[in-house]
Amino acid sequence: MELYGENFERLVEDALKHLWEFRRLGRHPFSELEAVHQYLPIDKTPITHLDRGQALHRWILRAMEELRQLPSIGDSPEARYYDILEGEYVKRLKNRNTAEALGLSESTFYRTRREAIQCLADVLAEFEKGHV
């Protein structure tokens, strides 16, 4: 699997959209990545697609934590990446509510969300290369 590019970013966005659907995540192409296997239960056999879905879920949340740790420097878009992704995909808030809470126009929200997904895709690709 190519770890960079538009297709990889689309797969990241798809996984985010289904972050709480372990059945679906267990069948996602990312569930077969080496880095995700590190999040599987050690003492369980057989490993089911639900286990792989939960592992993928944990792997994505771990990568999002990397975004949370970006320094908040003034009004930089990077300072909002975690908040945008958390609001939409983890907390499942309406985009309008997240945009308002962050003081963003809808167009800025959507542009920054695209950038946040690209940044998360880069982190996930680096995790896979290093099997984190």
pLDDT for the residue 14: 97
Q: Cβ contacts of residue 30 below 8 Å, gap of 6+?
A: 11, 15, 36, 56, 59, 124
Q: Which two tokens stand for residue 106?
A: 């809808």
Angle made by CA atoms 2, 12, 60, in degrees to the nearest 5: 110
Least confident of 41-55, 69-83, 101-115, 118-132: 69-83
**pLDDT at residue 77 is higher than 80:** no
**pLDDT at residue 132 is higher than 90:** no
**pLDDT at residue 126 is higher than 80:** yes
pLDDT in tens, 21-62: 999 999 999 999 999 999 999 988 899 999 999 999 999 999
Q: Cβ contacts of residue 60 below 8 Å, gap of 6+?
A: 15, 16, 19, 120, 124
Residue 131 pLDDT level (bands cut at 50, 70, 90): confident
Mean of per-residue pLDDT scores for the chain: 91
Placement of tokens 């995540």 in the chain: 25
pTM of the model: 0.90
Domain ranges within the chain, ordered by starting residue: 6-130
pLDDT for the residue 70: 78
